[in-house]
Chain A
Amino acid sequence: MTMSAGDARAALTRLLRGIAPEIDLVGIDDDALLQDELELDSIDFLNLVTRLSETTGVDVPERDYPELATVGGFVAYLARLDPSR
């Protein structure tokens, strides 16, 4: 089962909340870079990907990381994640 883009954005908000609760995704463009505009650092980013794996049970391979660099990319990735994969 896949999620809608709105659900996926909400899921990203929940993931971010445990790592960078100061971030408000409302009004943030899809092309905003997590490690620039959102001011995550590389350790935050790794923690975020780890949480993504933990909550979905899906292994996120390193080669997919570039896709996760922007808010929109992360949301799109979340939306097509299939936990049964």
Chain B
Amino acid sequence: MTWATITKHGWPGGIEPNITDYDAACASFSWDAARARLDGLPGGRGLNIAHEAVDRHVAGPRADRVALRWIARDGQVTEATYAELSVSTNRFANVLDTLGVAPGERVFTLLGRTPALFVTALGTLKHRNVLCPLFAAFGPEPIRRRLDGGDGRVLVTTPAIYRRKVAPIRDALPGLRHVLLVGDGAQPAGTEPFDDLLASARPTFAIPSTSPHDTALLHFTSGTTGTPKGVVHVHGAVVAHLETGRSALDLHPDDVYWCTADPGWVTGISYGVVAPLAAGVTTVVDEGDFDADRWYGVLADHRVTVWYTAPTALRMLMRAGPDAARRHDLSHLRFVASVGEPLGPEVVRWGQEALGVPIHDTWWQTETGAIMIANLAGADVHPGSMGRPLPGIEATVLARGPDGRAAVRDGSVAEVGPGIDGELALRPGWPSMFQGYLHDEERTRAAFECGWYLTGDVVRRDAEGWYRFVGRADDVITSAGHLIGPFEVETVLMEHPAVLEAGVVGVPDPVAGEVVKAFVCLRPGHEATEELRLELLGFARSRLGAAVAPRQIAFDQHLPKTSSGKIVRRLLKARSGGLPDGDLSTLEVP
């Protein structure tokens, strides 16, 4: 079934979108013009994300504009102006200085949506350290792996997270020199008080010369095999953050903006911190967890005009029913966009009815650093489509080989025509393109072929240039918007003495899109009991955290394997109703 295009008649709130003529915007676009919208460091000292996001506004009329409006878990609201945020981030830069942290060293965060996250992120960038945010719902094992792989020097977190998840692995992290704990609570040995250090630090700080090519951000993402990949971004990425904030999120100077993404993922930084602040808007930050009534309340009470959220959250709102939305005044909402996993056409339509505006799907990934493909505020919405490439972005669809990835034949790749599935590829050159995977040249090289960056996503494009997501070309699982690498989960399961082998796949779920399911082959002498199944579930959750651990575990003494002995996840997925079996010719016959 195809869903009708949503045609727009007039603009919500009478505010004209930043782009109303897509073709003209593409034709006239240049990254140099986008760069010119930024100020650069005073005295020609280069380009620093934190200066563009905070300090440059302080010199002008936006100094006293509210930058952050933070809603604590208990509902209490705290605001910080751009001028105040400039001072607190200066203080954190000075804290790093006092601690003797050298520029370029990596500062990790394990924090929720709190002011401390903004202060740490932007202060770190001011001091020219590399910010590496982690998802606070990770268990100890993913945290250890990333702090170790990313050479973490400083970690900012809370006493509760430290006690539960970091203290048990601290001995395995000799390179982690400073752990700063935010808020009240016991001060365990080997930690330092964030608030005290901040309060006693100097309130002024001059950002030293920063090159647009200096590393600014490190985001971990999951691949099919091996350890998580550390995706490296530079200060110059802010050009794309601001530009796509205008083009894809349609940010206008007077907007009140809410991004629901967790700051442990790239969206929570690129569009939760950098883009809205660089655009000078007011950002709403809600510490609380998803709750339909609370969320509608935030949209209504704070008069949110632009909202960037995720399909899982939208599906949960749909579940809550139309009355939940009707109880709130959502008339200020001008533009709603979604990211993280494909947005079903029924959700786009639901948005129109329940929120009063359609939901605009966007596509990008950790490696691209910024939105690449989107349905735009100033154009019709094609429900079920990711949209079209943003001005400045060249995308294509490449023919695939037997491994599901873009095929290279005689040293070249082939683009496919409309309606044909292929791997989505992007022409390198946009400012937020990743610089590589940390300490992993081989995987970095493998991501590029014949002048294209290969995204690993399978898509199809129609004759008018609209893209549709088909699936992943690899075995990476997308659950509730989080990318989960099956290898990381399998590795942990195999640490249990009863487990010989494990194969981990995503299986369809009406709310989360996919959930993680593990197929486990037991060692001889262990019996497949309900008791053991629950033990493995708890074992995996304690180490990986709820967001990464399997939600389902099945025993299977005959895991499907290739003739070389590799577990075929595709077939496990098919067994769970996620996929057709496909070509089984390379499989071992049991």
Which of B160, B312, B535, B538 has the largest count of A CB atoms less than 10 A from its CB? B538
List CB contacts (< 8 Å) of B519-549 with chain A: 534-535, 537-539, 541-542, 545-547
Are B539 and A22 in contact, CB atoms less than 8 angstroms apart? yes
Chain A neighbourhood of B312, CB < 8 A: 42-43
Chain A neighbourhood of B316, CB < 8 A: 42, 46
CB distance from B332 to the nearest CB of A (A): 23
Alpha-carbon distance between A41 and B511 when the two chains are bound, in angstroms: 13
Which of A37, A42, A47, A66 has the largest count of B CB atoms less than 10 A from its CB? A42
List CB contacts (< 8 Å) of A14-37 with chain B: 17-18, 20-22, 35-37
Alpha-carbon distance between A17 and B538 when the two chains are bound, in angstroms: 9
Chain A neighbourhood of B479, CB < 8 A: 43
Chain B neighbourhood of A45, CB < 8 A: 289
Are A62 and B551 in contact, CB atoms less than 8 angstroms apart? no
B290 contacts the other chain (CB 8 A): yes
Are B321 and A20 in contact, CB atoms less than 8 angstroms apart? no
Are A47 and B546 in contact, CB atoms less than 8 angstroms apart? no
A39 contacts the other chain (CB 8 A): yes
B301 contacts the other chain (CB 8 A): no
Are A41 and B547 in contact, CB atoms less than 8 angstroms apart? yes
Alpha-carbon distance between A69 and B479 when the two chains are bound, in angstroms: 22
Alpha-carbon distance between A46 and B319 when the two chains are bound, in angstroms: 11
B581 contacts the other chain (CB 8 A): no
Alpha-carbon distance between A62 and B428 when the two chains are bound, in angstroms: 46
Alpha-carbon distance between A1 and B316 when the two chains are bound, in angstroms: 32
Using CB atoms, name the residue of chain A closest to B546: A41
Chain A residues touching B, range? 20 to 34
Using known A-B contacts A62-B321, A63-B324, determine if residue A41 contacts B480 with beta carbons closer than 8 Å. Answer: yes
A40 contacts the other chain (CB 8 A): yes
B179 contacts the other chain (CB 8 A): no
Using known A-B contacts A39-B137, A43-B512, A65-B291, determine if residue A21 contacts B534 with beta carbons closer than 8 Å. Answer: yes
List CB contacts (< 8 Å) of B269-294 with chain A: 289-294
B554 contacts the other chain (CB 8 A): no
The answer, among B512, B515, B534, for a CB contact under 8 Å with A18, is B534
Chain A neighbourhood of B541, CB < 8 A: 20-22
Alpha-carbon distance between A9 and B292 when the two chains are bound, in angstroms: 26
The answer, among A17, A41, A65, for a CB contact under 8 Å with B137, is A41
Using CB atoms, name the residue of chain B closest to A46: B511
Residues of A in contact with B (beta carbons under 8 Å apart): 17-18, 20-22, 35-37, 39-47, 62-63, 65-66, 69
| CB pairs A–B below 8 angstroms (28 shown) | A17-B534, A20-B537, A20-B538, A21-B534, A21-B538, A21-B541, A22-B537, A22-B538, A22-B539, A36-B73, A37-B160, A39-B545, A40-B546, A41-B137, A41-B480, A42-B289, A42-B312, A42-B316, A43-B312, A43-B480, A43-B551, A45-B289, A62-B319, A62-B321, A63-B293, A63-B324, A66-B291, A69-B291
